[in-house]
């Protein structure tokens, strides 16, 4: 016999109630809602996967983790569009098969012989180190420079450097006197065509023939004989450095009219030769210590 006021569930006080009692809220006398917390049945927890650490929760990947995939997609689209644009430009730009004829035409206009001499190693090393140090490894354009060019145009801060020797040759042969973004795009396309059609030594020879070296000298032999009275093959390192440096700004760096500017440019070129490994630091110092022997204007080569 159980005591009054105690339910049939041990330890839980309730007023005396008949069997089947209901409190009006859906809780019958036999409902689990009247059980103490310690005696209520627990809901089963979901099974934890084997090997997963305790307390971890399975969450969806963060959205920011998807950005590498999105960037790859955007880059893929950009590359495809650039390929289509470049393909179209290949069709509408001039053929480069007549490039040697254009070089010869300019040589005749400037009163120099054609074909000229093959540029000597000292001159080409100085030119490549200064103007296009990735010349032998790029397909006529420097991808990094092209990206800088496009970014500069889009941001309003155009990048003025980075033109490869092929681009400069294309400018001299096909787009001289014209400027603008469309012209630069044409030069990029023509540079790729030149690289595909001619060897690097051929490109260097054409470049040396059409370049302007200041003081009314066109062509490497004309400049070498006019400034120093020697054939290109006999150029010293200081002389080769001056000629390779003057093509960037022939009037400003003319060694006769602006000797201080020419010296500054020579120091820069020798520094680039050291930077790319063509000269050691001690050799560079020795080159800059040599005197630059200019001959009087009109002397020319004696041989």
Per residue of the chain (303 residues), give pLDDT as tens. Answer: 444 444 444 444 455 545 555 555 455 555 555 555 555 556 666 555 555 555 555 555 555 567 777 788 777 887 777 777 667 776 778 788 999 999 999 999 998 888 888 999 999 999 999 999 999 998 888 877 767 766 666 666 655 556 899 999 999 999 877 777 788 888 889 999 999 999 999 999 999 999 999 999 999 999 999 999 999 999 999 999 999 999 999 999 999 999 999 999 999 999 999 999 999 999 999 999 999 989 998 888 865
Give the model's pLDDT for residue 12.
46
> What is the distance between the alpha carbons of residues 138 and 200, in angstroms, rounded to a whole number?
11
pLDDT in tens, 156-181: 665 555 689 999 999 999 987 777 77
pTM for the whole structure: 0.69
Asked if residue 262 lies in contact with residue 142, where contact means CB atoms within 8 angstroms, the answer is no
Mean pLDDT, all residues of the chain: 80
Burial class (CB in 10 A: 0-12, 13-18, 19+), 212: middle
> What is the distance between the alpha carbons of residues 41 and 32, in angstroms, rounded to a whole number?
8
> What is the distance between the alpha carbons of residues 247 and 250, in angstroms, rounded to a whole number?
5
Burial class (CB in 10 A: 0-12, 13-18, 19+), 60: exposed
> What is the distance between the alpha carbons of residues 245 and 262, in angstroms, rounded to a whole number?
8
**Domains, the chain, ranges and CATH?**
68-289 (1.10.3810.10)
Give the model's pLDDT for residue 6.
47
Strand, helix or coil at 22?
Answer: strand
pLDDT in tens, 182-238: 888 888 899 999 999 999 999 999 999 999 999 999 999 999 999 999 999 999 999
Q: What single string gives the DSSP state of each residue in 136-166?
A: TTSSSS-HHHHHHHHHHHHHT--------HH
Here the tokens at position 33 are: 């809602």
Give the model's pLDDT for residue 25.
47
Asked if residue 123 lies in contact with residue 220, where contact means CB atoms within 8 angstroms, the answer is yes
Per DSSP, 212 falls in state B
Asked if residue 301 lies in contact with residue 230, where contact means CB atoms within 8 angstroms, the answer is yes
């Amino acid at each position: 016999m159980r005591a009054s006021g105690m339910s049939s569930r041990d330890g839980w006080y309730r007023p005396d109630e008949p069997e089947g009692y209901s409190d009006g809220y859906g809780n019958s006398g036999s409902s689990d809602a009247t059980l103490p917390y310690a005696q209520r049945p627990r809901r089963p927890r979901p099974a934890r996967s084997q090997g997963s650490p305790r307390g971890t929760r399975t969450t969806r990947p963060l959205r920011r983790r998807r950005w590498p995939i999105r960037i790859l997609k955007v880059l893929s689209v950009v590359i495809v569009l650039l390929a289509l644009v470049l393909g179209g430009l290949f069709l509408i730009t001039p053929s480069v098969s007549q490039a040697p004829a254009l070089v010869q035409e300019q040589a005749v206009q400037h009163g120099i012989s054609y074909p000229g001499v093959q540029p000597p190693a000292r001159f080409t090393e100085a030119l490549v180190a200064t103007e296009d140090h990735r010349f032998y490894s790029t397909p006529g354009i420097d991808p990094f420079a092209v990206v800088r060019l496009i970014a500069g145009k889009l941001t309003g801060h155009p990048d003025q450097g980075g033109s490869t020797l092929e681009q400069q040759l294309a400018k001299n042969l096909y787009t001289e006197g014209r400027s603008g973004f469309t012209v630069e795009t044409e030069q990029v396309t023509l540079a790729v065509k030149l690289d595909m059609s001619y060897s690097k030594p051929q490109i260097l020879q054409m470049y040396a023939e059409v370049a302007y070296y200041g003081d009314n000298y066109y062509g490497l032999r004309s400049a070498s004989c006019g400034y120093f009275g020697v054939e290109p093959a006999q150029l010293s390192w200081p002389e080769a450095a001056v000629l390779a440096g003057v093509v960037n700004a022939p009037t400003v760096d003319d060694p006769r009219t602006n000797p201080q500017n020419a010296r500054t440019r020579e120091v820069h070129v020798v520094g680039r030769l050291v930077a790319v490994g063509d000269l050691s630091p001690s050799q560079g110092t020795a080159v800059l210590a040599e005197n630059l022997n200019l001959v009087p204007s009109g002397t020319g080569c004696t041989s």
